[in-house]
Amino acid sequence: MGVHTSGYNTLVKTAVFLLLIPAVWAQPLRVYSEFARIDAAGKVTAPAEPREILSPAVVRNGFTSFQVVVDVPRGTPYQLYVAQNPENAVRVTLYRESGEKLEPVEQPVSGTTAQVFWMDLWTAADAPVQRIKVEPQLHVNNDWVIYPMEGRVTEAAVPEAKESLGTMRSLVCGETETIPADDNSTTRFHFRNAQQDRALAAGASKADLQKLLGGCDAAARADPEWYLRIRDYLFRLR
C-alpha cells in the first residue's frame, strides 16, 4: 500500500522542522564559569551540565572571572561589548582565548567566527554592596543579543597579602605549590584567583574547608566546576 502524497509531505516538513530547531534556537552568546572546559568551537566539553551564570557573586578587592562564548558560523561578522549599570561598577578586561593563551583585547571586539573570551571583573574594595548589571552584548546580523547578567557585589573583600599565600590545598593540606610562569595563561589566572580564595580563607573554619575540599587524598573530579562550592562558601564570609 502506497503512502498518500499529502501525508508524506507533512512528514518531510516535520522532519525538516525538527532538524532546524537546534540551528534556530542556538544561542550565539553564552557565559560560563572560569572552570568550564570549552573547545575552540565554543562547545562545552565538561561538565555535562555547567552552572548557569545569571546572578553570580562578585568579590570586592579582587577579580571574578568568567568565560564568554560567541558562537556564530564562520564568516559571520560581529562586535562584542560589555555594558554596565551603574557605569564603571567594576573594571572589565577581556581576553581572547587560544588554548591556554590569553590575548588582551579592547572593546568593542570584532570577529568573524566562534570565539571564547575570558572576562575579568575587578571590583574595588570600597565598592557598594549591591546588585549590578554586567551584560555581554553581541551585535550580529544587524541585531543585538544580550546576555542578562546581574552581579551581586559581596560584603566579602579579599584581604591585602604581602606575599604569595598559595592556594586552598596549601592551607588545608600543607602542600607546596609552584606559581605558573606564564603571566598570560588561563593557568596563571586560575592560580591568581585561587590565591584570592586562600586570602579570604583566613577567616574561615579549617574544618569546613577540609570538608568542602573532600580531603587531601581525594581523587581528581570529573566535574571541573566542583571547586565553585568552595568559592560560594568563601564569598559568603563577612
* Per-residue model confidence as pLDDT tens for the chain (238 residues): 444 444 444 444 434 433 443 444 468 999 999 999 999 999 999 999 999 999 999 999 999 999 999 999 999 999 999 999 999 999 999 999 999 999 999 999 999 999 999 999 999 999 999 999 999 999 999 999 999 999 999 999 999 876 666 788 888 887 777 778 778 899 999 999 999 999 999 878 888 888 888 878 877 788 999 999 999 999 998 7
In angstroms, the first-to-last Cα distance of the chain is 75
Q: What is the distance between the alpha carbons of residues 29 and 70, in angstroms, rounded to a whole number?
A: 5
Phi and psi, residue 19, nearest 5°:
-70, -30
DSSP 2: P
- What is the total residue count of the chain? 238
Q: What are the boundaries of each domain within the chain?
A: 27-157, 168-235
Between CA 21 and CA 13 the distance in angstroms is 12
What's the rounded Cα separation, in Å, for the pair 69 and 45?
13
- Structure confidence at residue 165 (pLDDT): 66
Distance CA 198, CA 169 (A): 9
| E strand map for the chain | 29-33, 37-38, 44-46, 57-60, 62-70, 78-85, 91-98, 101-105, 109-111, 115-123, 131-140, 143-146, 150-157
Q: How far apart are CA 202 and CA 2, in angstroms?
A: 77
Q: Which residue has the cell 577567616?
A: 203
Cα-Cα-Cα-Cα dihedral sign, residues 90, 94, 97, 102: negative
pLDDT for 96: 97
| CATH of the structural domain 27-157, one choice from 2.60.40.10, 1.10.420.10, 3.40.190.10, 3.30.420.130 | 2.60.40.10
Q: Which grid cell sits at 10?
A: 507533512
Helix, strand, coil distribution of the chain in percent, nearest 5: 25, 35, 40
**How many other β-carbons are positioned within 10 Å of the β-carbon of residue 164?**
13
Q: What is the rounded CA–CA span in Å between residue 238 and residue 227?
A: 20
Which phi and psi angles does 219 have, rounded to 5°? Answer: -70, 155
Separation between Cα atoms, residue 189 and residue 182, nearest integer Å? 10
